[in-house]
Structure formats: structure tokens, C-alpha cells
A and B are shown apart, each in its own frame.
Chain A
Amino acid sequence: NAGVTQTPKFRILKIGQSMTLQCAQDMNHNYMYWYRQDPGMGLKLIYYSVGAGITDKGEVPNGYNVSRSTTEDFPLRLELAAPSQTSVYFCASSYFDNSNQPQHFGDGTRLSIL
């Protein structure tokens, strides 16, 4: 069982470039999330989705877009990369809401914008 799979693991972008971070889960989870982790900070929620076709903003959505066309996939897009988006990005999923269901995390994507 693969769980939550993120690709790529590492990427270096130039300012102004765009890219898509991929996230896929094979646990048939309804809920999926994107977080960023900056040094000395807690995980910050970027976007989340409660099911296919439904997405919503988290705490730090500016500069990002998401889509959820299938239950399995939840890609995160950076349209115009900026140095402030240098971070480690984690995708997570859960079967239902956060009341009693833990989130399952991918291994992260380390992104540097130069």
C-alpha cells in the first residue's frame, strides 16, 4: 500500500517559472491537504479538498492553485514562482474530517526558488 505519494522529491526553480507538485493517494480518502513547512514554523495549510471537484483555501493560499478532478489526485500549482515560496511542501489525506481521523502525509517536496 503506497499511501500518499508526492513527486518530485526535490526541485529548483527560477523566479517566474511555473510548476506542478503532484500528490496521489491510494487509500480512497475523501479529504486531501497541502501544507508548507518553513524553518522554525509549524505546518501551514495552503489548500484543502473535501472531495473530487471541491477545493478551498487554507491559511496561506496566495501564489498557489489546486484542482481535484479525481479522488486520488490533488496537484498543487505554482504559477509564477517567487523566492518566498522556497519551502518543503507536504501533501496529506484523511478518510473523513479531522474530528477523529488522523492525516496521512507524503514524504514531502523540497522546493527552492532562485
Chain B
Amino acid sequence: ILNVEQSPQSLHVQEGDSTNFTCSFPSSNFYALHWYRWETAKSPEALFVMTLNGDEKKKGRISATLNTKEGYSYLYIKGSQPEDSATYLCAFVSGAGSYQLTFGKGTKLSVIP
């Protein structure tokens, strides 16, 4: 069973603050790393799919970096807004086995107006 850890479990930030959280995954047999945004009562939506060490992807105020050698990815949100409140999921794809996603438990972000 692959171990994918996300930290922190939850955090509260003030509107306008920038924040970041971490996804840790096995540093061997890396194939891909996915980030999803999951709002309450909705379905998870894809943010990024990252495949190369050193990758940096950006979508508006949200960006992500990837370090496959040490097994971590950071998700950054610049100038948090209340609509950013959601659970952010990462999912690791191993190149050994069935190439399926192993999800972390998520980081729940609450942005206080």
C-alpha cells in the first residue's frame, strides 16, 4: 500500500493571506502527481497533473511545484479568497503496478472573510 500524506489536515486563513500545503509521496517509481480541488457537496475538480521533477504549474492564484527525488509537492494559493475554501487532494501515480491514483486524505482550507 502506497503512503501519500498531506499536511496540514486543515487550516484557517484570513482573506488576502497566502498559504501553502504539502503532499508527500514515495520517492521511487514516480509516474505522475495529480492535484484536485474539492468543494463541499460538489465533485473533485482537477487542478494540475505533474509529471516531471522540478515542474511548476500555475492556474490563476494557485500554483504547484514538484520534487520527485525527495517525494513532495507543494500547492500555493496567493491572496486567498473565500471561494478558495475547499479540500485540496493530491494523488500519486506509481510507475510500478497498475498506474492508478493513490489519494491523500486532503487538506481542508477555510478562508475567513
Spell out A's residues near B (CB within 8 Å): 4, 33, 35, 40-45, 48, 56, 58-59, 90, 97-108
Contact = CB atoms under 8 A, between A and B. Distances in A.
B105 A108 contact: no
The dominant DSSP class at the A interface is loop
Contacts of A35: 103
A42 B46 contact: no
Contacts of B106: 42
Interface in B65-113: 89, 91, 93, 98-106
A40 B100 contact: no
9 contacts: A42-B4, A43-B89, A45-B101, A56-B98, A58-B100, A97-B99, A98-B100, A98-B101, A102-B36
Interface of B: 1, 4, 31-32, 34, 36, 42-46, 49, 51, 89, 91, 93, 98-106
Nearest to B5: A42
Contacts of A44: 103
A107 B43 contact: yes
Contact of B44 (A58, A90, A97, A100): A90
Contacts of A103: 34, 44, 46, 101
Contacts of B36: 102
Contacts of A33: 100
Contacts of B51: 99-100
A101 B46 CA distance: 9
A99 B101 contact: no
Contacts of A98: 31-32, 34, 49, 93, 99-101
A104 B46 contact: yes
A34 B42 CA distance: 16
B98 to A, nearest CB: 7
Nearest to B90: A42
A4 B36 CA distance: 16
Given A98-B99, A99-B93, A102-B46, A42 B32 contact: no
